[in-house]
Amino acid sequence: MASISWKPVEGPHGEELRKTLSDIYVDFLEVNPGHLVVPIFHKDWYQRQLDFPIKEDDVWVVTYPKSGTTWMQEVTWCVVRGIDHPQTSLPLMKRFPFFEWDCMIAPEFTDERLCPDDPCLPGNTWKILANISSPRTIKSHLQEPLLPKQMWEVKPKIVYVCRDPRDVCISYYFHSMKLDGYKKELPDFVELFLADMLPFAPFWSHTLDFWKRRDQENILFVRFEDMKEDLPRVVRKVADFLGKEPSTEEVMRIADHCSFGSMSKNKAVNNEAIYAAQNEKCKELKFMRKGKVGDWKNHLTDSQIKAFKEWTFKHLEGSDFPYYRDYE
């Protein structure tokens, strides 16, 4: 395995990231090879994460942030455990832990509103991971080279979800503003996004590393847009992939439970507690914001769309990845 090195994010975009998005994350590092952007505490967690023992019956949902992770987590949970499982009403962070959460926040982070075992407090996710029963369901945004090395030997089930980067960018902007205290406006955020200078960037290598593995038996590659088009079909696909045989009625109940309207109202998944209003500007923003395909059309200017096009075409040169090329 290639040796890994870390350095502080640098250059004007590195500085900009540090200046505008440090409230929660504190600071950022670039991991090489790959120019992978990670929160600063990643370095302390890297080896533990790399050596994390994988079980063959694990089910992972891996995504670039804002790609429909929560949505796919809920679908996957319902397929794995059954929609009527008593724990379906527990917060998603407890039944589907966020693998690298502990390396995203400062070890000294405290919040008197949270009880001592809240998964949002540093170190607690790692404890949940050590204790959840099999089949374990685990979420991660980590780039492929930073995931546990046994992933590639033990071959657990991995559902990878990707989404149109233009929609990801808009969703990430609102998320960063509300949750991470992002201090500037959309044009500056678009610049950071296209410079691949956001946590868990670069977008394209994140996506293409899994696209290249899509024919592996243990990997299912799904698009947010497929879920929007026909959720019951995706529920069936996930079930087939996981060797489950839900009845038609169960498939329809899962699709209904995972509809945008239903998830928006479901406290176990809508992150409303975490998203509690921080300031006037963000008061009305919700984690379950719009859940649409193509919202970027309401936000990006012609020159930003052109910049997305150039960035996309540059990164997809020589790739057989067929999506999100619809610019003409």
**What's the first-to-final CA gap in the chain, in angstroms?**
41
Contacting ligand PPS within 254-283 (CB under 6 A):
258-260, 263
Q: Which of 42, 141, 206, 315 is catalytic?
A: 141
Active site residue 257: no
Minimum distance, C-beta of residue 5 to ligand PPS, in the bound complex (Å): 27
Q: How far apart are CA 151 and CA 155, in angstroms?
A: 5
Contacting ligand PPS within 51-70 (CB under 6 A):
63, 65-70
Q: Interface with ligand PPS by CB under 6 A: which range of 19-27, 39-47, 108-116, 252-260? A: 252-260
Taking the alpha carbons of 155, 159, 163, 169 in that order, is the dihedral positive or negative?
negative
Over the window 121 to 160, marking each residue x when it contacts ligand PPS by CB under 6 A and - when it does not, the resulting string is ----------------------------------------
Question: Per the structure block, which two tokens stand in for 68?
Answer: 């429909």
How, if at all, do strands 157-162 and 36-39 pair? unpaired
Looking at beta carbons only, is 12 or 277 nearer to ligand PPS?
A: 277
Looking at beta carbons only, is 223 or 289 nearer to ligand PPS?
A: 289
CA atoms within 13 A on the CB side of 194: 20
Query: Is residue 158 a contact partner of residue 82, using CB atoms and an 8 Å limit?
Result: no
State yes or no: residue 71 binds ligand PPS (CB under 6 A): yes
Cross-strand bridge partners of residue 62: 140, 160
State yes or no: residue 295 binds ligand PPS (CB under 6 A): yes
Of 76, 124, 171, 207, the one binding ligand PPS (CB under 6 A) is 171
Looking at beta carbons only, is 69 or 312 nearer to ligand PPS?
A: 69
Minimum distance, C-beta of residue 200 to ligand PPS, in the bound complex (Å): 9
Minimum distance, C-beta of residue 111 to ligand PPS, in the bound complex (Å): 18
CB-based contacts of 115, cutoff 8 Å, min separation 6: none
Alpha helices, H only, the chain: 11-20, 22-25, 42-50, 69-81, 92-95, 124-131, 151-154, 165-179, 186-194, 203-211, 224-229, 231-241, 248-257, 260-265, 302-316
State yes or no: residue 91 binds ligand PPS (CB under 6 A): no
Minimum distance, C-beta of residue 229 to ligand PPS, in the bound complex (Å): 11
3-state DSSP call for residue 106? coil
Of 91, 122, 181, 291, the one binding ligand PPS (CB under 6 A) is 291
3-state DSSP call for residue 322? coil
Over the window 196 to 235, marking each residue x when it contacts ligand PPS by CB under 6 A and - when it does not, the resulting string is ----------------------------------------
Exposed/middle/buried for residue 316 (C-beta within 10 Å: 0-12, 13-18, 19+): middle
Which chain residues interact with ligand PPS by CB under 6 A? 63, 65-71, 167, 171, 174-175, 258-260, 263, 288-291, 295
Which positions are annotated as active-site residues?
141
